[in-house]
């Protein structure tokens, strides 16, 4: 007997617990649009208000995973692991983390997304590199992971397609902020990627999707429990986003920051801490290190030896970028025509940062998007961002604005100035890594 989608909606509307069969039938109805947009919206709203049990969320995650292809990496003689971040400002960790873990023996098929709103997207950053393809054919993707050890690309249309439809409807029906639905959305794609281990970077703070720490903790706990319930070894770190993670925010400027990080030219302290902590978790999960302490040491060695930088360069070349990108990145990354400092109006110590405001300044410059179809200017952004607790004199720079025009630079400068609060006395700056789950 067929399970009617409206009955599934009714049951969840009334606070009932859906069976795995009901959830599977509802998601299966996405194909051929047997389940209407209105029914999807109604279920999303019912879940938003009534929630889902862990068992229901696991079933939803698995049903969305099974709506398309599930990758098989059995032909690769390495543990297959990945990382997912809930997004932030100046979060270019993926660009360093993938080659670090690959240098230590892991395989990292990193399927990433684009920026939306104030958060930057890994794919937009990688597309700053001339020739680099974020949509390679499957053979090139698999060959790069097998031969290089990592590949940072975009989601194919056949990976968890039900999630794409579900998310699109949630986005326009004010039902995005539901922990069970966020959990299923993130994990369905990661499960479809055929991973053996996953580490999650859940952000909390003024630049995070989950600004309140209690909400971020609830999301981290949900993600870890559901992923492990679906058979994927997973842990999560709760990390701070009360200031930009890197000292750069944008696309090409974050790629430059990442290459400087990998080659040892410049490593922002908080960025280094988060990158090494996530690398350590991944290496321990993949059993490439006995514990996270040994994993951190291995990651440090991969950086110091130059092996991680070499692998990043090989990945860029394998996916269509220049063969000498790491050595000559300034010849390839487009510079912005206007670079101006944003000066502090008075002396003081950086007491607070509206990190979301910094992200929106990048968007205003053209370095982000407010709609998925918007073009992105890869050259623009912010660099040399000062962090919490920094002492400044009057006229000292808060950052440098990289803009396409003087007018755009002036508008971004006003937004940056408004994002910084200066005060007197010492400022208590918390750790970059707040907690661990799993």
Say how many CA atoms lie within 13 Å of 296 toward its Cβ. Answer: 10
Show which residues are catalytic: 82-85, 122, 170, 185, 189-190
Contact 112, 298 (CB under 8 A): no
- Cα–Cα distance between 367 and 245 in angstroms, integer? 17
Q: Is 195 exposed, middle or buried (0-12, 13-18, 19+ CB in 10 A)?
A: buried
Contact 342, 419 (CB under 8 A): no
Nearest CA to 196 out of 283, 63, 286, 104 is that of 286
Contact 210, 201 (CB under 8 A): no
User: Across the strands, what pairs with 203?
Assistant: 239
Q: Say whether 194 sits in a helix, a strand or coil.
A: coil
49-52: Cβ within 8 A, 24+ apart: 50/12, 50/13, 50/15, 51/178, 51/179, 51/180, 52/18, 52/180
Degrees, nearest 5: CA angle 49-54-59: 95
Contact 158, 188 (CB under 8 A): no
Instruction: State how far the alpha carbon of 372 is from the alpha carbons of 44, 114, 156, in Å.
Output: 21, 8, 16
């Amino acid at each position: 007997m067929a399970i009617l989608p409206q009955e599934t909606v009714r049951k969840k509307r009334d606070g009932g617990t859906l069976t795995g069969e009901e959830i599977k039938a509802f998601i299966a109805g996405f194909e051929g649009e047997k389940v209407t947009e209105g029914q999807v919206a109604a279920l999303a709203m019912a879940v938003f208000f009534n929630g889902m049990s862990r068992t229901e969320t696991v079933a939803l995650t698995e049903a969305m995973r099974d709506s398309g292809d599930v990758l098989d990496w059995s032909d690769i003689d390495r543990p297959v692991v990945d990382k997912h971040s809930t997004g932030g400002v100046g979060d270019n960790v993926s660009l360093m983390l993938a080659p670090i873990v690959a240098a230590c023996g892991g395989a990292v098929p990193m399927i990433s997304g684009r920026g939306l709103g104030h958060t930057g997207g890994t794919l937009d950053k990688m597309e700053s590199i001339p020739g680099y393809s974020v949509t390679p054919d499957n053979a090139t993707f698999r060959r790069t992971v097998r031969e290089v050890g990592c590949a940072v690309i975009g989601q194919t249309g056949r990976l968890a397609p039900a999630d794409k439809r579900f998310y699109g409807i949630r986005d326009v029906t004010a039902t995005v902020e539901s922990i069970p639905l966020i959990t299923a959305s993130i994990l369905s794609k990661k499960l479809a990627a055929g991973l053996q281990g996953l580490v999650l970077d859940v952000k909390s703070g003024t630049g995070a999707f989950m600004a309140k720490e209690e909400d971020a903790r609830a999301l981290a706990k949900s993600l870890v429990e559901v992923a492990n319930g679906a058979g994927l070894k997973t842990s999560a770190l709760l990390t701070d986003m009360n200031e930009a993670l890197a000292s750069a925010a944008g696309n090409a400027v974050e790629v430059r920051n990442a290459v400087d990080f990998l080659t040892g030219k410049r490593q922002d302290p908080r960025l280094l801490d988060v990158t090494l902590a996530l690398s350590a978790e991944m290496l321990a999960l993949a059993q490439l290190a006995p514990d996270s302490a040994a994993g951190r040491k291995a990651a440090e060695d991969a950086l110091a030896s130059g092996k991680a930088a070499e692998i990043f360069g090989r990945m860029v070349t394998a996916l269509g970028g220049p063969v000498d990108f790491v050595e000559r990145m300034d010849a390839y990354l487009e510079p912005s025509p206007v670079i101006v400092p944003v000066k502090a109006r008075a002396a003081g110590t950086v007491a607070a940062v509206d990190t979301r405001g910094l992200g929106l300044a990048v968007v205003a410059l053209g370095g982000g998007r407010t709609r998925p179809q918007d073009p992105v200017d890869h050259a623009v952004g912010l660099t040399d961002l000062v962090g919490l607790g920094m002492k400044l004199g009057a006229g000292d720079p808060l950052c440098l604005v990289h803009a396409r025009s003087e007018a755009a630079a002036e508008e971004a400068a006003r937004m940056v100035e408004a994002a910084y609060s200066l005060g007197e006395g010492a400022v208590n700056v918390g750790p970059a890594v707040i907690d661990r789950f799993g």
